[in-house]
Structure 1
């Protein structure tokens, strides 16, 4: 496969570089769910247009990474399904959903993956877990009351993508997540336990949403996700494994 990008996801996909020669992976662009930069959004849109021209010309399948963040699925009552209408609540979500439409209308062979919050090696400091670790170390954490996040080990995402490409899945918008939303307070408690540090929590009231990301379609296409251990305690195992390896700590420095 050809991998475009040099960041967190691209580096974790390197073990698959020699596989799936008919795929081009676009792993570059805006990576912060709180991003609002019009310049960065435009740059990613222009990159996508050039990549779509490339895969349309040579017949390869484009894998485009979108978002399953609360900006897409965080509204109260949202079912977290790929086939239901969604109203983006953040500029980042609106941007990614707009790029999804560009891909769908392009005529190219494609696979769009809406990713939940990935955790793992090479992660950038602004992403969820490294950012929380940094705040905990500093002694004060900003908490949005009622917020939930679905954590997914990046290694599990790579395994899932490998299966999807090996089985020829295309023309799909697909959630890739654990399917278990975790209250942000629970994530913080476990991070603090792992770090041996207690921080002050400054709570901001927000409209609660269930943060649920449906994995029903994913389970149908990749039955082997049953082997990945997705359950209510999965997030604890992900945090523990990454803390044990020192990966989250290094990312946050």
Structure 2
């Protein structure tokens, strides 16, 4: 199967592209360096033999991307907090305009189109959210995701919408909570804690999300199917912080901050539909997932230390300017 993955240099997208290639699919990995694509993830994709193309979905000719069996659209501008104020225009551009253009490009070829949406469209949850519940987007980011869903439904064709819930794991972006908290615990530099830590989330390991997304790309599903992709157990942020501290042997130092605009008190994934139509449920518990993410952070630090040592050796091995003349003197 030929699969296009947009946002392939991102946190989830890079895992997804590699997983698809590992089981034999032909993968075209699409991302835009001009929009902040992670160079390390792009390089890793290229090293594993995946075809990588630099493409801004909001401006480029997208016709070549439509020649595929499946288009998995993960590209977009993430972040609730940064979508307010000056960030609103970029959020609209990257999440709505880009999606509209990609859907238009796919209108003639009609590949399976999987749209990555977000649990943020639900607003606050007092029980597990089901896909038929009314939505209540409370930030420009959440509204951009609900607008992208509307575009996908109106476009028709073989569209599947996945609402991801609080994804974490190796390669998580530096602005995301677990990344900041783990790094704070490792180096002792305080990380911001927005609110009192009582917020609850359906924290979902990236490997489980990749599994669900691949199933959604290949399973026989009615057009317009919407699926929650999240762990069914909701966990308070302060409890997740305690687990990070326990796993690392030291709690992350924190700086209290006011609650972030648009932040909801709880997300909670109802996953019965995904279990029924995909045979999928999240299987990675929080301790296991955090252990794997921490191992990645520690590995990244070791690699940086080795690179510093190599650079020092290179510097030390270079002839010093004027040293020969000084020796002769």
Q: Which residue of 1 aligns with 2:20?
A: 16
**CA RMSD across the alignment:** 2.6
Contact kept? 1:143, 1:184, Cα under 8 Å: no
Question: What SS does the corresponding residue of 1:65 show, helix, strand or coil?
Answer: strand
Match among 228, 240, 251 for residue 187 of structure 1:
240
Structure 1 residues 140, 125: CA separation in 2 closer, same or farther (over 3 Å shift)?
A: closer
Q: 1:53 aligns with which of 76, 82, 104?
A: 104
Deviations 1:87-129 (A, max 9, x none): 1122211111111111111123211110011122322101231
* TM-score for the superposition, normalised by structure 2: 0.66
Q: Is residue 2:84 matched to residue 1:30?
A: no
Q: Distance in 2 between matches of 1:168 and 1:187?
A: 36
Q: Distance in 1 between matches of 2:274 and 2:152?
A: 20
Unaligned runs of 5+ in 2: 27-67, 305-329
Answer yes or no: is the 8 Å Cα contact 1:150–1:211 preserved in 2. Answer: yes
Larger radius of gyration: 2
**Bigger shift: 177-186 or 139-148?**
139-148
1:4 aligns with 2:6: yes
The count of residues paired between Structure 1 and Structure 2 equals 244
Alignment of 1:20-169 (within 5 A): 21-36=68-83, 37-44=87-94, 45-69=96-120, 72-75=121-124, 77=126, 79-136=128-185, 137-145=188-196, 146-169=198-221
- What is the CA–CA distance in structure 2 between the aligned matches of 1:211 and 1:4, rounded to whole Å? 26
Secondary structure of 1:81's counterpart equals coil
| C-alpha distance in structure 2 between counterparts of 1:247 and 1:63, whole Å | 33
If asked which structure has higher relative contact order (CA below 8 Å, sep 6+), I would say 1
Q: Is contact 1:2–1:24 with CA below 8 Å preserved after alignment?
A: yes
Report the equivalent of 1:229: 283
Offset from partner CA, 1:146-193 (integer Å, 9 cap, x none)? 301111111111112222222222421111001111000011111122
TM-score, structure 1 normalization: 0.85
SS of the residue aligned with 2:108?
A: helix
Unmatched runs of 5 consecutive residues or more in structure 1: none
Distance 1:220 1:247 in 2: 38
Cα offsets for 1:37-83 (capped at 9, x unmatched): 122123222211111012211110211111113xx334253541110
Write the distance in 1 (CA, Å) between the matches of 2:174 and 2:127: 29
Between the aligned partners of 1:238 and 1:26, the Cα distance in structure 2 is: 25
Q: Distance in 2 between matches of 1:203 and 1:221?
A: 41
Say if 1:213 and 1:110 are closer, same or farther in 2 by CA, change over 3 A.
same
Cα distance change of structure 1 residues 156 and 208 upon mapping to structure 2, 3 Å threshold: closer
Please say which of residues 239-248 and 185-194 is displaced more in the overlay: 239-248
